[in-house]
Amino acid sequence: MPHRRHHLAATLAALVLGAIGPRPAGATPTAAPRRGPDPSAAATAAPAFVRADTTGPTYRGDRGRTEVRIPRLELESRVDGQLDEPAWRRAAVLTGFTRYLPQDGPPAEDSTRVLVWYSNEALHVGIEAFEVHGPVGASRSARDRIGSDDRVRLLIDTEHASRRAYAFGVNAFGVQEDGIRVEGTEGKAGLFDADRSAEPADLTPDFQYESRGRLVPGGYVVEIRIPFSSLRFSSDRRDWGLNVVRRVPHSGRELTWAPVHQGETSFLAQEGTLTGLSGLHRSSTLDVNPVATARMQGAPAAAGWSYGDPSPDVGLNLRYGVTSDLSLNATYNPDFSQVETDAGQLSYDPRQALYFPEKRPFFLEGSERFSTPNRLVYTRRIDDPVVATKLSGSVAGFSTGVLSALNRPSPGDLHRSVFNVLRAQADVGSESTVGLLYTDRLHGVDYNHVAAADTRLVLGDAYVLSAQAGGSVTKDGGSPRWGPLWDVSLERSGRSFGATASFRAISPDFVTDAGFLSRTGVAHASASPRLTFFGSPSSPLESATTSVVVYGDWLYDDLFGGRGPEALKLHLNADLAFRSGWRTGASVLFERFYYPPYLYADYAIERTTPAGTDTIPFTGTPSIPNLDVVLRTATPHFDRFDAGLTLILGRDENFYEWAPAYIFIANASMNWKPTDRLHFGVTYSRQQYLRFSDRSNVAIRDLPRLKVTYQVTRALYVRLIGEYDSNFRDALRDDTRTGDPILRRDPDTGTYRRTVPERSGRFHTDALFAIQPSPGTALFVGYGTDLQGARRFQVTGLDRTADVFFVKLSYLFRM
């Protein structure tokens, strides 16, 4: 009876939403059942969408048949999610998926069939995803927002070099996610060492392709058409690499068509092959993308609130296909406005800068060609360009990226900045690479030049050696100065045993005006062995991973001068993955931080004696020992809900006063989808420091954030974001030593002043109405405002400090 009520509620909700906006072509209004038939019945009673009359060849990945010759068919096919045209009967069939995560090897519980054929202009893919073990999680979301859904991703390696691959993903409704997967970027999928991802693709690039999907009893069907004009490939290459990854969120499993083993050094090197491709036609060589924007900003004024004049602007983006594997992009007066503001972040160490990802379309296309260790290319440094050009693709066997941009001068500056970036990378052997990088920034008579070389060498079957060496020459008002950078790591891959050792040193004189380094003038060494144990087929535990990480941090000059470290750390970690999809883990952190005098150069202590009050230097405790416990857990991705929580408790350094403190840090997230169109995303972060001496609060920061999205149709959505940044910092004192007040030097007057308690609350909200039928074609209408209060979590009496209305209209013409 409960299941019938669930189906009735889902059906009524879908009918109501269907009256508001049309469903994607072929989508059914009913949700997938929570429970399906006995898995053993799948072979004899397959769901209705399976086509019994498919006559094309079958390639089973679990039997090693991963070299696929797909048929070329010049037949009509409308992308509607039905797979009922004659071409699909003759398509090659890819099946026989196996598990990759959390445990590799066993056959997939949920069967998948992928039908593939091609015409002279496009690759056609049909996906039949059986699901009889749990609910199908599907939402009508915005592009690249299907991370918690059931989904299938195609990895297409047009170079067949196992270095990078296009990633085309879809959920059950055909909502798209796309990007680039670059080999060597494997890592944790979130918080857990045991949850390494098969698909860590960079989803920021967008490509043109069509997809439609529908839920059916027992699973879902999706149809995809990828035009060859959206791909870069060598005209004389007839073989492409291919793998298909399916994510089943309710069980936490990732499945692959071509079997992939966790102990190998390369994921892409285990891909299958599409053979015999010929006569591929790129129908588009020129994209013209005009953009019109208007902004009107408001701010407090003497007579109340004042808005400036609207600032309409027009820009133009061009993309020309020089060859089938080389593209030239240019932009004039570009609009680089971000549709969504950066989310707030907690800072754990005041010596390290916070990183925010690039979101601007011009810089995102072909960004994988500029990827380099240590983020020596960070295009957000080009903050206000007038014109920019970019060439990216393959030239004479080299993966190449060239970028030049002219930046507007900042207020009060007489000079514009010119940025140049050159990146070239070559394949060595079957899996290794070597690369070169050059960047510069020219600003009047000042300059910054950076040159670096890097490599990723696969040694045998288990070891990867990665290294980068570089140097910079910088002139910023004085004499030129030179600084080096060194980075080397050795990783042993392994299914059950793995280990990593690394060393990096960055001179204080190393400067990268076109890149991002969270901190310079430091050296870091670490070593980390890892053991993974796998449960038996009948065990509720799928895998358990334990690791030990040993860190050492030095100032660059101290390391090479034979002096002691800034910090020593020993972290003990354990992570568990259960067959139900739950994840849990814990860490114990033993650390010791040594006093950094340069951080407290403007500190002093107010000492009161019978003779009077005096100002004495702040010297600081020589070292602070830490002992912390980290607890983390994450739910499975249920059909309507998922959540995660990390807690850090213990004794840690209090950088405000350079004293030990009790800490409480919490990071929580939740996604709730009451319907397949409405999505609530909630995150909450809290950072609290309490003094050892009397348990009083040194500092508290709370960052709650709510994001609500309603997908009216596939192309139209509305979104509301609200974020509150609440801060408290007490008057500082020399805790655990003298207890005297701490003074800080006023940078304007040079005099020392007592610190006073600081409280503030800032509420930011923005609303967006968006129509985005495809990348490059969009209408955005938005409003954002900031409200400021003098107290934490102040609700009434907030002062509006700024707001902005904006409109953006763009259209992509393909010629």
Question: Measuring CA to CA, how many Å separate 438 from each of 12, 370, 509, 720?
Answer: 59, 11, 17, 41
- pLDDT grade for 105, boundaries at 50, 70 and 90: confident
Quote the tokens at residue 650: 């213990």
413: helix, strand or coil = coil
| pLDDT at residue 669 tops 50 | yes
Tokens 């609350």 — which residue?
Answer: 761
Mean pLDDT across 620-629: 94
Considering only residues 75 and 525, tell me which one the structure prediction assigns the higher pLDDT. Answer: 525
Q: What is the pLDDT of residue 614?
A: 87
- pLDDT grade for 605, boundaries at 50, 70 and 90: very high
The Cα–Cα gap between 260 and 246 comes to: 13
Considering only residues 624 and 52, tell me which one the structure prediction assigns the higher pLDDT. Answer: 624
Quote the tokens at residue 722: 């609200």
Considering only residues 29 and 638, tell me which one the structure prediction assigns the higher pLDDT. Answer: 638
CB-based contacts of 38, cutoff 8 Å, min separation 6: none
pTM of the model: 0.84
| pLDDT at residue 188 tops 60 | no
Considering only residues 53 and 347, tell me which one the structure prediction assigns the higher pLDDT. Answer: 347
Q: What is the pLDDT of residue 50?
A: 52
pLDDT digits (tens, 9 = 90+) for 109-132: 888 999 999 998 999 999 999 987
Express as a percent the part of the chain with pLDDT over 70: 90
pLDDT digits (tens, 9 = 90+) for 513-526: 999 999 999 999 99
Mean pLDDT across 439-458: 96
Quote the tokens at residue 49: 């969408």
| pLDDT at residue 41 tops 60 | no
Break the chain into its structural domains and give their ranges: 23-275, 358-520
The Cα–Cα gap between 703 and 343 comes to: 9
The Cα–Cα gap between 554 and 523 comes to: 5
| pLDDT at residue 347 tops 50 | yes
Considering only residues 697 and 34, tell me which one the structure prediction assigns the higher pLDDT. Answer: 697
- pLDDT grade for 343, boundaries at 50, 70 and 90: confident
- Report CA 90 to chain centroid distance, whole Å: 38
Half-sphere exposure of 191 (CA within 13 A, CB side): 25
443: helix, strand or coil = strand
The Cα–Cα gap between 165 and 153 comes to: 11
pLDDT digits (tens, 9 = 90+) for 467-523: 999 999 999 988 999 999 999 999 998 889 999 999 999 999 999 999 999 999 999
- pLDDT grade for 252, boundaries at 50, 70 and 90: confident
| pLDDT at residue 45 tops 50 | no
Q: What is the pLDDT of residue 200?
A: 66
Q: What is the pLDDT of residue 388?
A: 95
The Cα–Cα gap between 347 and 288 comes to: 42
Supply the mean pLDDT for the chain: 87
| pLDDT at residue 142 tops 90 | no
pLDDT digits (tens, 9 = 90+) for 736-794: 788 899 999 998 888 999 999 999 999 999 999 999 998 889 999 999 999 998 888 87
pLDDT digits (tens, 9 = 90+) for 148-165: 899 999 999 998 888 889
Considering only residues 283 and 31, tell me which one the structure prediction assigns the higher pLDDT. Answer: 283
686: helix, strand or coil = strand
Helix (H) or strand (E) run with residue 5 in it? helix 2-20
Q: What is the pLDDT of residue 326?
A: 87
Helix (H) or strand (E) run with residue 89 in it? helix 86-89
- Least reliable range by pLDDT among 184-193, 268-277, 363-372, 382-391: 184-193
Q: What is the pLDDT of residue 637?
A: 85
Give the DSSP per-residue string, 704-762: EEEEEEEESSSSEEEEEEEEEEEEEEPPPB-TTTT-PBEEEE-TTT--EEE---EEEEE
- The class of domain 23-275 in CATH terms is mainly beta
Mean pLDDT across 705-723: 95
| pLDDT at residue 337 tops 70 | no
pLDDT digits (tens, 9 = 90+) for 360-419: 888 888 888 998 989 999 999 998 899 999 999 888 889 999 999 999 988 888 889 999
Mean pLDDT across 457-469: 92
Q: What is the pLDDT of residue 195?
A: 41
Check if the beta carbon of residue 221 is closer than 8 Å to that of residue 49.
Answer: yes
Residue 349 sits at the vertex; the CA angle it makes with 345 and 351, to the nearest 5 degrees, is: 110
CB-based contacts of 268, cutoff 8 Å, min separation 6: 155, 157, 162, 163, 164, 165, 181, 183, 241, 243
Mean pLDDT across 88-103: 92
